[in-house]
Structure 1
């Protein structure tokens, strides 16, 4: 590996170590080349998210004279250059350009992710579960598709399963972070589900409404389950080490959702996460799922009512 490439990878490794312990745990199972490319893709995603939100690795606040809209516009320009193979000097865009070239990732996919960030910048609200799932595609499903391409997937049906896992992850993230997001004036819970519980959009963070919000979140976690199930079907099509990494990530995020559900109205008294020992157990389980997937039968037809990624 050349010195510049090594530097880009080093910066990317630092980003994942500090920005996502859940993903970092699963990523250890990838073969070295896949891990390097997955980590570099993550670094670009993390950088864009931080720039839009004015944070560092998802935390704090960074002073900036530019508006979120202006920062996003600049990210789109830099990303477009990286997609053309002409990145600037920032390690995140150099990393993106390398990964896209190596795996023939279509330019529309990173642009789809930025479109999701634009929904945040515009303060988009979501009327139905389908609307929320559309947002989930842009900020997570499309990342699943890019990750699958890095793992060597070409089959569109397997790419669909990767998108399904991204949708499930994001529904879990929304459920865990709903009160924190409300403090940032962001609301991803479907308006019709809130209305059914008598919760107004502006009252989501009201402690007196926690039980009602927990019931809405439980429905969101219920909605995530068929996407987690579909994702397991796709694991059998991945190389074994990649399958183990994906199965572990799936188990970790699903466990977080289970923790949110179990705590009910107290779910947001502290951040729900998995302990180191839990992660090790889930990692072992992920390896077992990956090995077992080598012996499973072909997948049944996907339920027609599930949300489908755009082609």
Structure 2
């Protein structure tokens, strides 16, 4: 075994450990993927987590901005001395991933470096595209999807998951001076009011979360419609990941939207039950095996000029 081969093996092992610790839902679903897809998906997750951690973990905002900007330069140049970025560039080349897509991901993370005050639903959807729709696009390439029709649905699945994240993490984000609930919906409340909210704030934000989770469901439905473009094993894996993520919103609703009590989680036993449920239901879902209808362009009205979105020709 050459040193390069050993390095690759060690890198994948390390990436798997990171996925197991920080991406439990996807780690659970990964086991349904064939080996090459699972390995490449893990490499993609490592890159995305690395970018996210630079944005979240750095005490020096200026340094984080410089680092992320340098990574954009390196991706565009196709070379990097950073082992994580270098591996990601190799992965992008291997899977023919449009480099505009990871660059949009980084732009989304850059926007998180300062205090966040989302003002409109359009702005929120653009952010969701940047930090999660892009991941759906890249994952489609990882899973060898070739049909262009699939990409809009992949974007929607990412947007749905990010909307779920935002609803789950209201208090946690508020502690970092971030408000993703559009100001027009929440009366431009400052995020500090979400940490120990009074009754009026609880009621208002609970209404906002109801609306956003209903919006997420529309994007989940579109994402599910595109699963048929994936190879069968990958289709099962992504269906499970989406169903488990969607259930976070269900739990939040069942907990009466008590966002101030912190994150809700899906336990291992519940994950197992939900996994069995989605696998069984998929056998009777004809849309799981063939494409029905077409993507709704209105879901991407806010995303004009972003890579691979569905723009109406009307």
Same fold (TM over 0.5): yes
> Which shows bigger deviation, 163-172 or 94-103?
94-103
1:303 aligns with 2:293: no
Cα distance in structure 1, aligned partners of 2:289 and 2:118: 38
Question: After the TM superposition, which residues 174-193 of structure 1 pair with which residues of structure 2 at under 5 Å, given as runs?
Answer: 174-193=166-185
SS at match of 1:194: coil
1:4 aligns with 2:7: yes
Out of 11, 16, 21, the position equivalent to 1:18 is: 21
Partner of 2:237: 245
Decide whether aligned partners of structure 1 residues 47 and 204 sit closer, same or farther in structure 2, where only a CA change above 3 A counts: same
Q: CA RMSD in A?
A: 2.2
Number of aligned residues? 298
Runs of 5+ consecutive residues of structure 1 not aligned to the other structure: 56-63
SS at match of 1:192: coil
Partner of 2:39: 36
Q: Following TM superposition, by how much is the alpha carbon of 1:307 offset from its aligned partner in structure 2, in angstroms? A: 2.6
Cα distance in structure 2, aligned partners of 1:200 and 1:98: 42
Are the equivalent residues in 1 in contact too, given 2:225–2:288 (CA < 8 A)? Answer: no
Q: Following TM superposition, by how much is the alpha carbon of 1:101 offset from its aligned partner in structure 2, in angstroms? A: 1.6
Partner of 1:233: 225
Question: After the TM superposition, which residues 106-145 of structure 1 pair with which residues of structure 2 at under 5 Å, given as runs?
Answer: 106-145=98-137
SS at match of 2:195: coil
Decide whether aligned partners of structure 1 residues 166 and 295 sit closer, same or farther in structure 2, where only a CA change above 3 A counts: closer
Question: After the TM superposition, which residues 186-201 of structure 1 pair with which residues of structure 2 at under 5 Å, given as runs?
Answer: 186-195=178-187, 199=189
SS at match of 1:87: coil
Are the equivalent residues in 2 in contact too, given 1:168–1:224 (CA < 8 A)? Answer: yes
1:6-60, Cα deviation, whole Å (9 max, x unpaired): 12211211110111111111111111100101111111111111122126xxxxx
Cα distance in structure 2, aligned partners of 1:246 and 1:285: 14
Q: Following TM superposition, by how much is the alpha carbon of 1:266 offset from its aligned partner in structure 2, in angstroms? A: 2.4
Q: Following TM superposition, by how much is the alpha carbon of 1:78 offset from its aligned partner in structure 2, in angstroms? A: 3.3
| TM-score of the superposed pair, with normalisation by structure 2 | 0.88
| TM-score of the superposed pair, with normalisation by structure 1 | 0.88
1:68 aligns with 2:61: yes
Are the equivalent residues in 2 in contact too, given 1:240–1:290 (CA < 8 A)? Answer: no
1:154 aligns with 2:146: yes
Runs of 5+ consecutive residues of structure 2 not aligned to the other structure: 308-314
Cα distance in structure 2, aligned partners of 1:15 and 1:227: 28
Decide whether aligned partners of structure 1 residues 43 and 275 sit closer, same or farther in structure 2, where only a CA change above 3 A counts: same
> Which shows bigger deviation, 183-192 or 211-220?
211-220
Decide whether aligned partners of structure 1 residues 225 and 290 sit closer, same or farther in structure 2, where only a CA change above 3 A counts: same
SS at match of 2:98: coil
Q: Following TM superposition, by how much is the alpha carbon of 1:102 offset from its aligned partner in structure 2, in angstroms? A: 1.1
Are the equivalent residues in 1 in contact too, given 2:47–2:88 (CA < 8 A)? Answer: yes
Cα distance in structure 2, aligned partners of 1:89 and 1:52: 17
1:237-289, Cα deviation, whole Å (9 max, x unpaired): 11001101110011011100111112124243242111111111222234345
SS at match of 2:263: coil
Are the equivalent residues in 1 in contact too, given 2:75–2:99 (CA < 8 A)? Answer: no
> Which shows bigger deviation, 293-302 or 242-251?
293-302
